A and B are shown apart, each in its own frame.
Chain A
Amino acid sequence: MIRNTILSLLGLSLAGAAKADWVLNMPMGITDLSLETYNLHMMVFWWCVAIGIVVFAVMIISLVRHRKSKGAEPATFSHSTTAEVIWTAIPVIILVLMAVPTAETMVKMEDSRNPDMSIVVTAYQWKWHYKYQDSNIEFYSSLARPSLEARRKQSGVDPYAVENYLREVDNPVVVPRGAKVRLLFTSNDVIHSWWVIDLAIKKDAIPGIVNEAWFLANEIGTYRGQCAELCGKDHGYMPIVVEVVEPEAYEAWVNSHDVEQ
């Protein structure tokens, strides 16, 4: 709690100094696991800060006090078994404290049993294809037209004038809130990686292999991501948009899609 307050204060002061949309930290996301991931990230971060403060403090004190210009005489010690045992043992303890909750989260992440629905995600150079396994809905999802026009070299279009520049698609993935969604990833050509930071999912889409991941969204909204594995010239132009909607709205979306096809 105190940690979060300090961090948000730090974030605010830095952000306040410039623009309000500066993001300094990983988002907490919208699933239980994305929150756990965020907490693990912050736990290791604070351990690092603590260790850093100790090490750098000793170093800075030494740099200030033990200088020749202040008449310091060099000591002659060059060994201390006690000290060395201590600074080997303490990191071991810290690592164990970090490893245990991490392993717990990993076990949960890999447990994709009993999903409510499954979507097959196939990657292409340079777009995504989604197929809902429980219905006959399938579609390609590519960079939206306004971004497509603005992205050309010296297009003359101001990226700031394009809403969600490079992070908007023609056909977003729609999923219901509160359902366990299993994603199955594969690729048609090279390796891609499907990443939506608010779902804490980044999984490679690899030709000849089917990978899986799952999420259960707690909040409705539009969540954006993009391909995270270099996949050729348009690697930067294959975004992902996931729309989490209420279950009733999802039903309506499914029905309207079925009619279209």
Chain B
Amino acid sequence: MNTEAHSSHDEHEDHGPAKGIKRWLFSTNHKDIGTMYLVLSLVMFFVGGAMAMIIRSELAIPGLQFVHPEFFNQMTTMHALIMVFGAVMPAFVGLANWMIPLMIGAPDMALPRMNNWSFWILPIAFGMLVSTLFMPGGAPAGGWTMYPPLVLQTGDAFPFLIFSVHLLGVSSIMGAINIIVTVINLRAPDMSLLKMPMFVWTWLITAYLLIAVMPVFAGAVTMLLTDQFFGTSFFLAAGGGDPVMFQHIFWFFGHPEVYIMILPAFGVVSEIIPTFARKKLFGHDSMVYAASCIAFLSFIVWAHHMFTVGMPLTGQLFFMFATMLIAIPTGVKIFNWVATMWRGAMTFETPMLFSLAFVFLFTIGGFSGLMLAVAPADVQYHDTYFVVAHFHYTLVPGSVFAIMAGAYYWLPKWTGHMYNEALGKVHFWASAIFVNLTFFPMHFLGLAGMPRRIPDYSTQFADFNTIASIGAFGFGLSQLLFVWVILTAKKGEKATDRVWEGSHGLEWTVPSPAPYHTFDTPPQARIANEAFE
């Protein structure tokens, strides 16, 4: 068996990637597919970002200057859908594709053809979604949460919205299955589950979350579809249905989805901080348990998004207490990162800077999350800019900074060259300053009473909105630097295999750039790790 596998792999080494477009269309190589995911994610980041710029332009000063309210609502809806499903999620799947096989010593993902499919469904799904902008009635404008009955007022875009969500779900589920099978079956023989790197662990947990909730989401939007076209009344009061039921189902998906977007970020940061602190991750096992706790709790807190829908008191109390509990494992993670830094020997390369900003700013997002958990106060915060500030703190300096940290961290392994460190640092400082300038004033706006998703506002909200808009343009422009650093990465000096002085783990044992095929024979993880100590 072993020798057979060996000889077939030797044949593979003779032919590298296919030529031209076929390499990408038919690729079953985890590195190529990872690259495609990451490129798609970057493109979508700019598409969604452009929509954010339209939103912030309109909101820069009071009065309606540029767009009509209908179009404004299309922008907020599409910005959210594209950033969540197009930018953040594919970026993490891309990192998983590239890095998980390298980190566990696997030759590729376990199901390479499904891997190809799960990527190529995405451009189709986003093609459908973006095309709705040009349809009669415009793009979906009922918010990414798609609450009925409002979402049923969508024009011709409606079925395209539903089917693109279906496709995104199919892609996510296939990606998740692939990751679970790869992690469970293809680890280096001496890598037990608790010896796995944190990034692999958090992704394993995330993959289970995806499999659990994506079908629920697909079911919810299918019920919207039949309500619209086939005369059912799942969510229509006039036919005996219940509009609030949709919100329960949606958030049963939606809250785990929040952790789907942050757990892999925890993983990335847990790889990077030990590298640049030159010290082992503090409390590896408790990090695993904390991530598992967060994943479990994510299933029983969904209705904290619905404290204003009129739930019974006992329901509100349950969801409030359960939500507060999440602070405990999240706190453990943050304390462990701080303990990892403590008495380390830190240096501050770009990946570390982004990771440190992640810890600082995600903690601020966590604090506002704790405030939101307090149900009576949530009545005041709910659907205001306070919430917008909260989730942008967790998603932008949270997930997005972690993705950027990961990109800078592994870029030398991908390209074989060191990127321009000075420009990377400029990119970091610009992003870190502008992200706060954009989102911090939104806390004040929300507390003062500005609801979210409005195209125009009373003059008392003007000053902070102007500041937020300036910050947003600055943040948007700073991201062009990121693209420049990536495009010029190949011009840098040659990277060593280990790349960073404090690197640890199997991915640093392969050459830089990583060859098209790696780990044709399973490595000894323990020996590889000892070599770094």
CA of A196 to CA of B457, assembled, Å: 15
Which residues of the other chain, A, contact B279 by a CB distance below 8 angstroms?
74-76, 78
Q: Which of B153, B346, B444, B458 meets A67, CB within 8 Å?
A: B346
A203–B64 CB distance below 8 A: no
B460–A23 CB distance below 8 A: yes
Using known A-B contacts A189-B149, A195-B451, determine if residue A154 contacts B380 with beta carbons closer than 8 Å: no
B447 within 8 A of A: yes
Which residues of the other chain, A, contact B375 by a CB distance below 8 angstroms?
102, 106
Which residues of the other chain, B, contact A201 by a CB distance below 8 angstroms?
379
B309 within 8 A of A: yes
Using known A-B contacts A45-B371, A208-B242, A208-B243, determine if residue A159 contacts B324 with beta carbons closer than 8 Å: no
B244 within 8 A of A: yes
Using known A-B contacts A44-B371, A75-B279, determine if residue A230 contacts B143 with beta carbons closer than 8 Å: yes
Among the stretches A91-99, A134-142, A249-257, the one at the interface with B is A91-99
A37–B376 CB distance below 8 A: yes
Q: Which of B325, B374, B447, B448 meets A102, CB within 8 Å?
A: B374
Mask: chain B, 107-132; 1 = CB below 8 Å from A; 0 = not: 00000000000000000000000000
Residue of B nearest to A86 (CB): B335
Q: Which of A19, A74, A189, A228 meets B382, CB within 8 Å?
A: A228
A133 within 8 A of B: no
Using known A-B contacts A203-B310, A232-B150, determine if residue A74 contacts B384 with beta carbons closer than 8 Å: no
Mask: chain B, 196-216; 1 = CB below 8 Å from A; 0 = not: 000000000000000000000
A68–B153 CB distance below 8 A: no
A195 to B: closest C-beta gap in Å: 7
CA of A240 to CA of B370, assembled, Å: 29
Mask: chain B, 32-53; 1 = CB below 8 Å from A; 0 = not: 0000000000000000000000
Using known A-B contacts A52-B367, A166-B457, A233-B141, determine if residue A59 contacts B338 with beta carbons closer than 8 Å: yes
Mask: chain A, 87-112; 1 = CB below 8 Å from B; 0 = not: 11001100100110011011101100
Q: Which of A56, A102, A212 meets B320, CB within 8 Å?
A: A102
CA of A193 to CA of B452, assembled, Å: 12
Q: Which of A206-225 contact B (CB under 8 A)?
A: 206-209, 211-212, 225
Q: Please list the residues of chain A having a beta carbon within 8 angstroms of any beta carbon in chain B.
A: 18-19, 21-27, 33, 36-37, 40-41, 44-45, 47-48, 51-52, 55-56, 58-59, 62-63, 66-69, 72-80, 83-84, 87-88, 91-92, 95, 98-99, 102-103, 105-107, 109-110, 150-155, 157-160, 164-167, 185, 189-191, 193, 195, 197, 200-204, 206-209, 211-212, 225-237
Further 16 A-B residue pairs, CB within 8 A, beyond A78-B279, A157-B63, A202-B383: A40-B374, A44-B370, A59-B359, A66-B345, A69-B347, A74-B279, A74-B345, A87-B332, A99-B321, A159-B62, A191-B150, A200-B380, A204-B308, A207-B238, A226-B451, A230-B142
